[in-house]
C-alpha cells in the first residue's frame, strides 16, 4: 500500500497531468502537503492508527481551512480563517491531508459549475459539458483521481448533481448532522456539508468522522436515541410514477427503471407514488420567499459589489431580487413548507426510502451560456426538495443514458442516512459503509429472532442491523422452551457448558428499550459473553423456565436443533 508521502506525490503528478487549473482556487504547495504526510508517517510509526490516515481531501472554497483564503467564489469576499471548519478539523485530526480549495458556483448558488470568476469548471469526462455545481471543483477532483474525498455543500443539490454527472458517489447527510461551523452560508437552514468519493465506503468513512454536534453551530443536531440502523426486511422503496418521470428523456427513463429493477431483484418491494407534492415544494427554494435566506447570507456584500468584475451577474440577480420580499411572504412560505413536510411523511409512510433520478440531462457549456437560469432549474428537478423537507440522500451511479453517465439517489427521512447507504449499496453491489453512530447496543439472539425466523421482523421493524454470525463462550447450555412460537432458553452454567451459535445485531438504545418492553415471559435480557471475550446484551431466561425443558445444547444452536426435527 502506498505511503502517505507516495500518495501526495501521485496526486500532484495527476494534477499536472490533467491540467485543469479551473478546478482549484487555492492549491497548496506540494512541499507543504508532503511535510504533513511525513509527520503523519511518524504518527503511524509510533503506533497511532488514525482512521483516515493518508486520505487526500479537496475542500470546496466556501468551507474554511486554516491559513488558506476562503473566497466563496468571489475574490473581493476573501478572508483567511484562523481556524478550520469543524468538518475539516475532524478530517485532519483523523489523518486526512488537505490538498487545497476547489472552485464553485459563486456563493454556492447554482447547479452548473460555470458561475465563477475563477473559470467554468469543465466536466471530467467531457470538457464540452458542465461539471455540475455548485460543488464543481470538488466533484472533478475526485472524478479525475486526484482526491480520495472532496467536501462540497448542498442546499439545492450541489452535493448530488455533480456526482451524477461524473459517475461518482455523493453523500448528502441529514441537515445539521455535520456541523456548518466555518461554512459560508448559502441558505443557512437548508445547507449541508457533503462528501464526494469514488465509492460509498470511502465517502461513509469521511462522513462518520465529521458527524456530531459542535457548540459553534446553533443548527447542529445529534443522532436520535431511536436512530434506524438498517432498512426493514423486506425493504420497501417508493419510486415516481410515470408523470413524475416525465422530465426525463426516454433513455433516462429506461436507465431509471433498470435501477428500480435491480432493487426488485435484490428483494426490495418497489411501489409507485405521486411525487408532485415534492416537486411543488422544490419550487419554494428559488421561486418563493425562501430565497430570502440567500439574501440574508450575502445580500449586503453583493449589493455593495454588484458592479465588480468578479461578481457573477446571474448569482447577483437571484440573490439581490430577494431584497424586495416581505416578512409576511416569508412566513407564508415557511408555513407552506411545514405542510409539505407533513405531506412527504405521509407519502413515504411505510417505505424505507424514495428512489429518484438525481438530475435531468447533462447540458453543454454553450447551453448553459444561452439559458443560465432555465438549464440550472432543470438540473435541480429531483434535488431541490430534499433539504427543504429535511431528508437525507445518497447519490450513486446507475449506468448510462444518452451516451453519458446517469445517476440515481436514494432519499430517506432525517437521520436515516445509514438506511439510504444500505439501499444504495444494493444498486452498486459495493460495500455501503457505515455512518451510523457508535453509541448503539450489540444484541445477541439465539432463536426466533434469528434471520429468517418468525420474530426477526421485530428487530428490523425497530431499525436493527445484522452485524455477525458468531457463538458464545463455552459456559452456556441451551433449552427448547414450550412457547409459541418455539424459542430457546439460554442459561449460563458453572460447569459442563458449551459454545452456542448466535447472531449479533446492532440496535439503538431506544430501540432496545422498546424491544425489552414487549418481551414476553419467560424471556429476559442480560449480559452474554461471546467467544471473542466481549460482553453483549443477549437473551436468557431464569432457572425455573427450563425445568423440564429439553436440553438441546448438543446441537450447538437453535437452527441445528430445528433442522434435526425434520
Where in the sequence numbering do the catalytic residues fall?
Answer: 60, 134, 158
- Nearest alpha carbon to residue 502 among 459, 560, 455, 444: 444
- Nearest alpha carbon to residue 411 among 278, 291, 250: 278
Omega of the bond leading into 452 within 30 degrees of 0 (cis): no
Task: Collect contacts of 256-261 with beta carbons under 8 A, ≥24 apart.
Answer: 256/355, 256/357, 256/398, 256/406, 256/408, 258/398, 258/399, 259/355, 259/398, 259/399, 259/408, 259/427, 260/355
Q: Return d(Cα 497, Cα 540) in angstroms, integer.
A: 15
| CB-CB contact of 446 with 476 (8 Å) | no
Lookup: cell for 463:
431499525
Q: Return d(Cα 444, Cα 459) in angstroms, integer.
A: 11
Q: Return d(Cα 334, Cα 349) in angstroms, integer.
A: 23
SS (H, E, C) 505-559: EEECHHHHHHHHHCCCCCEEEEEEEECCCCEEEEEEECHHHHCCCEECHHHCCHH
**DSSP class of residue 76?**
G
Which residue is it, cell 413536510? 341
Which residue is it, cell 453512530? 437
Amino acid at each position: 500500500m502506498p505511503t502517505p508521502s507516495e500518495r501526495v506525490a501521485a496526486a500532484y503528478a495527476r494534477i499536472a497531468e490533467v491540467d485543469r487549473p479551473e478546478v482549484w482556487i487555492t492549491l497548496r504547495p506540494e512541499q507543504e502537503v508532503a511535510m504533513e504526510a511525513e509527520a503523519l508517517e511518524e504518527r503511524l510509526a509510533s503506533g497511532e492508527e488514525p482512521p483516515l490516515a493518508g486520505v487526500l481531501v479537496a475542500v470546496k472554497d466556501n468551507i474554511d481551512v486554516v491559513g488558506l483564503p476562503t473566497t466563496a467564489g468571489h475574490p473581493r469576499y476573501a478572508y483567511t480563517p484562523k481556524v478550520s471548519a469543524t468538518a475539516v478539523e475532524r478530517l485532519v485530526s483523523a489523518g486526512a491531508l488537505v490538498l487545497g480549495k476547489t472552485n464553485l458556483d459563486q456563493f454556492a448558488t447554482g447547479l452548473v459549475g460555470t458561475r465563477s470568476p475563477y473559470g467554468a469548471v469543465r466536466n471530467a469526462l467531457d470538457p464540452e459539458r458542465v461539471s455540475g455545481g455548485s460543488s464543481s471543483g470538488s466533484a472533478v477532483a475526485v472524478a479525475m483521481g486526484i482526491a480520495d474525498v472532496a467536501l462540497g455543500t448542498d442546499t439545492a443539490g450541489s452535493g448530488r448533481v455533480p456526482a451524477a454527472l461524473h459517475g461518482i458517489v455523493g453523500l448528502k447527510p441529514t441537515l445539521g448532522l455535520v456541523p456548518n461551523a466555518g461554512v459560508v452560508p448559502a441558505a443557512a437552514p437548508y445547507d449541508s456539508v457533503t462528501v464526494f468519493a469514488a465509492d460509498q465506503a470511502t465517502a461513509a468513512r469521511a462522513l462518520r468522522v465529521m458527524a456530531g454536534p459542535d457548540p459553534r453551530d446553533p443548527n447542529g443536531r445529534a443522532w436520535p436515541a431511536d436512530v434506524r440502523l438498517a432498512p426493514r426486511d423486506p425493504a420497501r422503496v417508493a419510486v415516481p410514477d410515470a408523470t413524475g418521470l416525465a422530465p426525463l428523456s426516454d433513455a433516462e427513463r429506461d436507465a431509471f427503471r433498470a435501477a428500480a429493477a435491480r432493487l426488485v431483484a435484490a428483494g426490495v418491494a418497489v411501489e409507485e407514488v405521486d411525487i408532485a407534492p415534492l416537486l411543488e415544494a422544490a419550487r419554494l427554494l428559488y421561486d418563493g420567499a425562501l430565497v430570502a435566506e440567500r439574501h440574508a447570507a450575502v445580500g449586503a456584500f453583493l449589493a455593495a459589489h454588484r458592479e465588480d468584475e468578479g461578481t457573477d451577474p446571474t448569482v447577483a440577480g437571484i440573490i439581490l431580487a430577494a431584497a424586495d420580499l416581505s416578512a409576511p411572504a416569508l412566513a407564508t412560505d415557511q408555513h407552506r413548507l411545514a405542510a409539505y413536510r407533513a405531506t412527504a411523511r405521509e407519502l413515504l409512510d411505510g417505505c424505507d426510502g424514495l428512489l429518484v433520478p438525481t438530475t435531468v440531462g447533462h447540458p453543454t457549456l454553450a447551453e448553459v451560456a444561452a439559458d443560465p437560469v432555465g438549464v440550472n432549474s432543470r438540473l435541480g428537478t429531483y434535488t431541490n426538495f430534499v433539504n427543504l423537507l429535511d431528508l437525507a440522500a445518497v447519490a450513486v451511479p446507475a449506468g448510462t443514458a444518452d451516451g453519458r453517465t446517469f445517476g440515481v439517489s436514494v432519499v430517506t427521512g432525517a437521520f436515516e442516512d445509514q438506511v439510504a447507504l444500505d439501499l444504495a449499496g444494493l444498486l452498486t453491489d459495493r460495500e455501503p459503509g457505515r455512518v451510523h453512530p457508535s453509541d448503539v447496543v450489540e444484541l445477541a439472539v439465539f432463536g426466533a429472532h434469528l434471520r429468517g425466523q418468525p420474530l426477526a421482523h421485530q428487530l428490523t421493524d425497530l431499525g436493527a442491523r445484522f452485524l455477525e454470525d458468531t457463538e458464545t463462550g463455552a459456559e452456556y447450555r441451551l433449552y427448547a422452551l414450550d412457547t409459541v412460537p418455539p424459542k430457546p432458553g439460554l442459561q449460563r452454567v458453572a460447569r459442563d457448558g458449551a459454545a452456542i451459535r448466535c447472531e449479533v445485531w446492532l440496535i439503538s438504545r431506544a430501540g432496545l428499550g422498546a424491544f425489552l418492553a414487549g418481551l414476553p415471559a419467560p424471556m429476559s435480557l442480560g449480559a452474554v459473553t461471546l467467544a471473542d471475550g466481549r460482553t453483549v446484551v443477549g437473551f436468557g431466561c431464569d432457572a425455573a423456565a427450563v425445568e423440564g425443558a429439553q436440553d438441546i445444547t448438543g446441537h450447538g444452536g437453535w437452527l441445528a436443533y430445528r433442522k434435526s426435527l425434520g
